[in-house]
Amino acid sequence: MYSPGGLPTRSSPVPRPMKRHHSVRQIAHRVHDSFTSRLCKLICAIFLTLVLAVGLISFILWLSLRPHRPRFHIHGFGVVGLGQGTDITQIQFNATARNANHNIGVYYDSMDGSVFYKDQSIGLKPLLFPFYQGPKNTTDVEDTITVTTLKENSQRWTEIMNERNMARVVVFRLEIVSIIRFQISKWHSRPHRMHANCEVSVGPDGVILPISIDKRCPVYFT
């Protein structure tokens, strides 16, 4: 390098980067922050794992202990007087109520039965006294209901006879009603008003048709 006067000059030394020296306090602070972050992540992972495990166990228990509604089936149904074209005086039926639960019992209050034609009641009767039904158990519900509203030449009787003669099929509905409670060990559920609706088709002779034999009845609560 030359000066403006033409004389050589010494080049200025290039400054070297200064080395950063971390204090012991700074290093300890960074280590502490790293340890705290890892500890928080570990605690969050353990907490989420516990929540997931508890949720999964609760879901499995809910599936295994969830009570199923009783299952009703209609097996027999006969309308006395329909085949002869005279007064319809009685309706005889045979049904079953099954508790399909494995570990849950069912308490029934008194059970009542009603027969309907076109949503009009034509007869009703108490069927069973209060009883307990154990798990995987079936109870017969069989009785005879007296009919007093279908006298010969009455409006409903005429409608039924016209349906019998023209369609050769008459549809009735048997409704079974009871207040039930589920029992799991010593725990009892709140009462439920249960309705089992059995739609039954009978032929001109008043006897249940094969299409309705062993038919499952829809059950709902109110």
pLDDT in tens, 149-188: 888 888 999 999 999 999 999 999 999 999 999 998 778 8
Q: Is 204 helix (H, G, I), strand (E, B) or coil?
A: coil
Q: Which of 113, 110, 108, 114 is nearest to 129 (CA)?
A: 110
Find where tokens 């995987």 sit: 136
pTM (predicted TM-score): 0.72
Res. 148: pLDDT tops 80? yes
Domain residue extents for the chain = 24-66, 71-221
- 71-221 is classed CATH 3.40.50: no
Task: Measure the CA–CA gap between 80 and 86, rounded to whole angstroms.
Answer: 9
